[in-house]
Structure 1
Amino acid sequence: MFNHAGDVLYVGKARNLKKRVSNYARGQGHSNRIARMIRETTTMEFVVTRTETEALLLEANLIKRLRPRFNVLLRDDKSFPYILISGDTRAPGIFKHRGARSKKGEYYGPFANAGAVTRTINTLERAFLLRSCADSMFESRSRPCLLHQIKRCSGPCTHEISDENYGKLVGEATAFLSGKSKAVQDHMREAMSAAAEELEFERAATYRDRLSALSHIQSHQGINPHTVDEADVFAIHQEGGLACIQVFFFRTGQNWGNHAYFPKADPSLSAAEVLGAFITQFYDNKPCPKLILLSELVDDLELLSEALSASAGHRVLINIPQRGEKKDLVDHAMTNARETLGRRLAETSSQARLLKAMAETFELPRVPRRIEVYDNSHIMGTNAVGGMIVAGPEGFVKNQYRKFNIRSTEITPGDDFGMMREVIERRFARLLKDHAAPEAQSTALPASDATAEESADDSFPAWPDVILIDGGQGQVGVVRAMLTELGLNDHVISIGIAKGVDRDAGRERFFVSGKPAFTLPPRDPVLYFIQRMRDEAHRFAIGTHRAKRKKEMIKSPLDEIAGIGPSRKKALLHEFGTAKEVSRAGLADLIKVEGISEALAKTIYDHFRDQ
């Protein structure tokens, strides 16, 4: 369904399209949401599939890609991290992996967050002494690294351990991650006892430390079910017009964490409708387990199972348990969903009060729905970056954050005004290109509620109501001049935040157009609110700057050569060890490297000779 502007309003499937559309055309008996959707629809487009399973998968695909306003939308769609034990080298390594599973090796997961993977890998290093270094470093080592010295790696790079014995360590790690933890621990206990009886106490101590590390992993697994080997558990709770879905991941009989989702859905939809729409989108780009446990009976359960089975390549069973351990797992997920949503409602209520108080304090025309905060970071003008963070009714909106690498060569190093001018120009020129400018805001209006149309449309706006600048009168003047040049000074309200006397927090001065600078009382909640947003912008800008600076410090001279991508760079380093050795190599030696043609070898040779 499309509106007059060509925007997709809704994507739906039906076994009989004619009946579905006829039901919409009746014009009566619809909820407010459906009635509003029908009223805004001007055209419709139909896609016929061969089977209903194909229709279900296509619906999920289109919803995720087009994000229609009247569908249930999965807001947080980032991929989950996995543990990868690589399989394309003589000594497999253990790594954290996120994204497409294109590398050779065994994958274990998903884990709920990257921190859980990092902690698990650190512990597995101590337990199984597997390497975690990059393949290029592994191939070029001439002596063991520090991890070997602190007994977190067995040193396969320099053959401190034979390939056969290292393979046994890899086998033990694979068995442990595959759920055979008890057998692995029993084997280590036997080996420790045997070493002690042979008076080889140092070897016995090594097994003791490895056993201790494994016990540490299992103590952090939470509830480990006895009757569920591989499953995802979904539980949904609705309250206050919001819905929270908790997803628990169980693999190899172990709890590998949980994640909370807050899908965008109309409050009139039932929990079963929201959960059913959520699951098809959730598994669109994620591997599906053999068992899925739900808290609600969703529509077309058999069709959903058939579609997920076709997508996963194996049979997927969907169950709504009524008793036993599986029911306990669902109840546990439901408890977490209920408590998480309660915290979210409390935070949202607090955020709404703060936004309203901010509108009253700064005499804004309406309560802001999108606030953008800008800050710059550099060291004496080097690696200069600008950062933009976004806040709204539900707190910080991190998928809207943006970073700006300062490109202009005309800016004097360290010129904060020039950097802010470039950031604002690039941000709003792009915004004008992608979205029509909003109506002008008049500060003569009272800080009233949003219009009925805005309240009806709860999608997050692209244009900011307010922008906060971390700076004083100079930075604010530059921003307003740039907005005026773009014709947007009446559309976006800009506020400057200058650090107070002696740069003390709580004594900030605020600069608003048409008003003298002023301060807020030290314990004003609005002041704390603005300080929190400014500090987040500062954190984001500094983090971006540090990442850029680190990348600059470790940049390879090979990156400067045209035609040298990651694969050829890896081949060169694999052959010569370091970039310095590549620079010393002769033309004949460069030609011998796989993937390096005679012309490219000449380019590499000339590059280093010219320097």
Structure 2
Amino acid sequence: MAGDELGAEAAAAPRRAALLAEVAQLPALPGVYRYFDAVGNVLYVGKAKNLKRRVSSYFQKDHGGTRIGVMVGRIARMETTVVRTEAEALLLENNLIKALNPRFNILFRDDKSYPYLQLVSHRFPRLSYYRGAVDKKHRYFGPYPSAWAVKESIQLLQKVFRLRTCEDTVFANRSRPCLLYQIRRCTAPCVGLISDADYTRDVQNAERFLRGEQQELLDQLQQRMMEHAESFEYEKAAELRNQIQALSRVLQQQSVEANSASSAEKDVDILAVKVQGGRACVNLAMVRGGRHLGDRAHFPAHLEDAAAIGAAEAEEGDGVEGAAPPEVPAEVRVLEAFIAQHYLDSAVPPSLVLSHAVDQALIDALSQHAGFKVSAQHQPREQRRVWLQMAQQGAELALARLLAQEGSQRARTLALAEALSLEVQDLDTVRIECFDISHTAGEATQASCVVFENHQMQSAQYRRFNITGITPGDDYAAMRQVLTRRYGKLAEGVAAGTARMPDVVLVDGGRGQVSMAREVFEELGLDLSLIVGVEKGEGRKVGLEELVFADGRPKVYLGADSAALMLVAQIRDEAHRFAITGMRARRASVRTGSSRLEDIPGVGPKKRARLLQRFGGVRGVGQASIDELASVEGISKELAEEIYRALH
């Protein structure tokens, strides 16, 4: 063992010497640096006012067994980029963090884009919910923190301005008003019950409302109502009166910053951060047009590693030599990371309200990136103070829920590890793969593999396997095929030391399925103790399941109230759900024959649609002659022959 350690140290010495030589050549200019390990994984991305001083600080002293010491010990190579300004360094750093997902950086993952309220361009524009890339030909308002906030705003606008929400295809084919007209949520432009001018005016008023010009809008509506009343147009005056009343009720339900002089000042993001128990939460609340639209909580990854390295960097500094940089609280580090990463891809409002003061250089870089002046305040007054307090409370509640949930999830993983006598050093790395077979009387057999890791299901790693070449309905043969396909190549990597098996391989079934899994593992030379079968209890009742092992251990009954059994049941049920949904989709594809048409070269979506429309479905296409197929627009004689051969 000692010889191996000496050999590793000897191999690392030239690498470290090369790194130090590279560090010595770095310029004393602002820039961004990246550290990589021996297999090319990105360890850390950082920025510096002085690249030479900052990077050399990592290698000038022994960091021991600290987190920064662990990272430095793994550095095999580095890359640097020189930039002109500190602002450019900050933007490049966070672009790289989002793109490379470094192990030792604070990282915020945005699992989905923010939704917008869309006014679709049309003679009679419609309101719609929208998520995705912005198309300049339409008008957008937002972003909103959630789909619920968009839909609530659409409902408010329907009540006040009665704009349509139906799809253009529905709109173009209406012959009489729909129910929304009857309940006074639409003015029925589809059948001409409102003029173009009046509908356009309603659209303009809705836009003014969304921009925060509520008082001006109310004053204008009041003036128009009085003009109609003076002209004895009482019906029109009554319509405006109803609109004013509806708008007033909406405004009474909203928190509106009445003293804002411009719409720009009414667009605000409120950011509150809370750090506790090794986790952090940044709660983002959005105010658009003076209306509080709701909030969304964000939780960063890699917090403890990044905080430790950030603190070490602060001690070293990279500014004036000998100057002691002030200690930066963890809350400020998290908030700065969120601001830098979040607003690279999202629209930034002209004003930010923050729970903690951040570096002004960050706000300046944000202004440069946005193309307009962005202001930030962390001690607001009046209405903004109320909004900040709401956001802070939301951050505290969201973090408390996360910690409670993670504690419960960790407890379940621990209970299962103890029940199965798993020898693992870190519960966070426990990986369970579960398999299930699904078919209908042998038709469209599919196997599923779902993954549990880091105390939760990892849907991005799920896999489905189409099972072919077996006797229909033979679940044992299906299990043999899926396990062989899943672990055949992986076994080679395990033997070579370049891959690892999961800690548990769950199969949904009793001794028969476990015996089949045992045969596969013996053929591949894999550890039989990994295989665990979930056998239905007496009467197939939930809570009476027993665990069956392939290595000869006796069956285990965990108990209906066992946290371990709850986790096993969750994973097993997820595998069943994933298998059956895939099977149903495959079965539907086989029965309709759509996959057969899609597989024919030269038959795209348009030609396929023409064929199905002409012959009334795939069965009709299959019964058609070559000449009949060739009579369809876009289908040549040669393609008709190809289609005929594929379907017969």
Which has the larger displacement, 327-336 or 32-41? 327-336
Hey, what does 1:281 align to over in structure 2?
341
Normalising by structure 1, we get a TM-score of 0.75
Distance 1:119 1:547, change over 3 A: farther
Q: Which has the higher contact order (CA 8 A, sep 6+)?
A: 1
1:69-106 CA distance string (max 9 Å, x none): 1111113442122222222x333333322222236312
The structure that has the greater radius of gyration is 2
Q: Count residues in correspondence.
A: 560
Matched, 1:364 2:422: yes
Distance 1:605 1:528, change over 3 A: same
Distance 1:370 1:501, change over 3 A: same
Please state how far the C-alpha of 1:525 moved relative to its aligned partner. Answer: 2.7
Correspondence for 1:52 among 78, 82, 86: 86
Partners of 1:539 and 1:211 in 2: CA distance: 50
Distance 1:552 1:246, change over 3 A: farther
1:564-601 CA distance string (max 9 Å, x none): 878x79xx99xx9x9737999xxxxxxxxxxxxxx983
1:103-124 CA distance string (max 9 Å, x none): 6312222222234434544554
Please state how far the C-alpha of 1:243 moved relative to its aligned partner. Answer: 1.5
Partners of 2:398 and 2:501 in 1: CA distance: 30
Secondary structure of the 1:117 match is helix
Correspondence for 2:402 among 331, 337, 344: 344
1:84 and 1:106 in contact (8 A); partners too: yes
Hey, what does 2:280 align to over in structure 1?
243
Partners of 1:233 and 1:430 in 2: CA distance: 50
Distance 1:561 1:410, change over 3 A: closer
1:291 and 1:316 in contact (8 A); partners too: yes
1:22-61 CA distance string (max 9 Å, x none): 2112115789222221121121111122333222222111
Matched, 1:293 2:327: no
Secondary structure of the 2:539 match is helix
Secondary structure of the 1:365 match is coil
Partners of 1:122 and 1:383 in 2: CA distance: 44
Aligned 1:157-196 pairs, distance under 5 A: 162-181=195-214
Hey, what does 2:146 align to over in structure 1?
113
Correspondence for 1:500 among 516, 527, 537: 537
2:187 and 2:194 in contact (8 A); partners too: yes
Partners of 1:146 and 1:429 in 2: CA distance: 60
Distance 1:383 1:348, change over 3 A: same
Instruction: Give, as a single letter, the amino acid of the residue that structure 1 aligns with 2:392.
Output: M
Distance 1:118 1:467, change over 3 A: farther
Distance 1:483 1:528, change over 3 A: same
Partners of 1:549 and 1:57 in 2: CA distance: 49
1:170-200 CA distance string (max 9 Å, x none): 33433333334566678889999989x9897
Hey, what does 2:469 align to over in structure 1?
410
Partners of 1:113 and 1:546 in 2: CA distance: 31
Aligned 1:119-158 pairs, distance under 5 A: 119-121=152-154, 124-125=157-158, 128-135=161-168, 138=171, 141=173, 143=175, 151=183, 154-156=187-189
1:335-387 CA distance string (max 9 Å, x none): 22222222222222222222222111122222463334444556556676655
Secondary structure of the 1:238 match is strand
User: Would you tell me which structure has more helix in proportion to its own residues?
Assistant: 2
2:145 and 2:296 in contact (8 A); partners too: yes
Please state how far the C-alpha of 1:17 moved relative to its aligned partner. Answer: 0.7
Aligned 1:198-597 pairs, distance under 5 A: 215=249, 219=253, 223-226=255-258, 227=260, 229-264=266-301, 265-266=303-304, 267-268=307-308, 270-299=330-359, 301-302=360-361, 304-321=362-379, 323-366=381-424, 367=427, 369-375=430-436, 387-393=448-454, 395-398=455-458, 400-404=460-464, 406-410=465-469, 416-417=475-476, 424=483, 428=487, 464-482=502-520, 488-489=526-527, 493-513=530-550, 514-539=552-577, 580=613
Instruction: Give, as a single letter, the amino acid of the residue that structure 2 aligns with 1:314.
Output: F
Partners of 1:341 and 1:479 in 2: CA distance: 42
Partners of 2:175 and 2:594 in 1: CA distance: 22
Instruction: Give, as a single letter, the amino acid of the residue that structure 2 aligns with 1:528.
Output: M
Unpaired segments of 5 or more residues in structure 1? Answer: 441-460, 585-598
Which has the larger displacement, 513-522 or 381-390? 381-390
1:93 and 1:132 in contact (8 A); partners too: yes
Hey, what does 2:327 align to over in structure 1?
none
1:108-152 CA distance string (max 9 Å, x none): 22222234434544554565544444445555x364696657655
Aligned 1:3-18 pairs, distance under 5 A: 3-18=37-52
Instruction: Give, as a single letter, the amino acid of the residue that structure 1 aligns with 2:336.
Output: G
Hey, what does 1:593 align to over in structure 2?
none
1:9 and 1:41 in contact (8 A); partners too: yes
Hey, what does 1:93 align to over in structure 2?
126
Hey, what does 2:117 align to over in structure 1?
83
Distance 1:205 1:160, change over 3 A: closer
Partners of 1:604 and 1:125 in 2: CA distance: 54
Instruction: Give, as a single letter, the amino acid of the residue that structure 2 aligns with 1:93.
Output: R
Partners of 2:490 and 2:190 in 1: CA distance: 51
Q: CA RMSD in A?
A: 4.8
Unpaired segments of 5 or more residues in structure 2? Answer: 1-34, 311-329, 618-631
Instruction: Give, as a single letter, the amino acid of the residue that structure 1 aligns with 2:369.
Output: S
Partners of 2:640 and 2:405 in 1: CA distance: 57
Distance 1:526 1:583, change over 3 A: closer
Secondary structure of the 1:83 match is strand
Hey, what does 2:96 align to over in structure 1?
62
Distance 1:563 1:495, change over 3 A: same
Partners of 1:340 and 1:376 in 2: CA distance: 38
Partners of 1:326 and 1:430 in 2: CA distance: 59
Distance 1:602 1:348, change over 3 A: closer
Distance 1:374 1:96, change over 3 A: farther
Distance 1:560 1:3, change over 3 A: closer
Distance 1:484 1:313, change over 3 A: farther
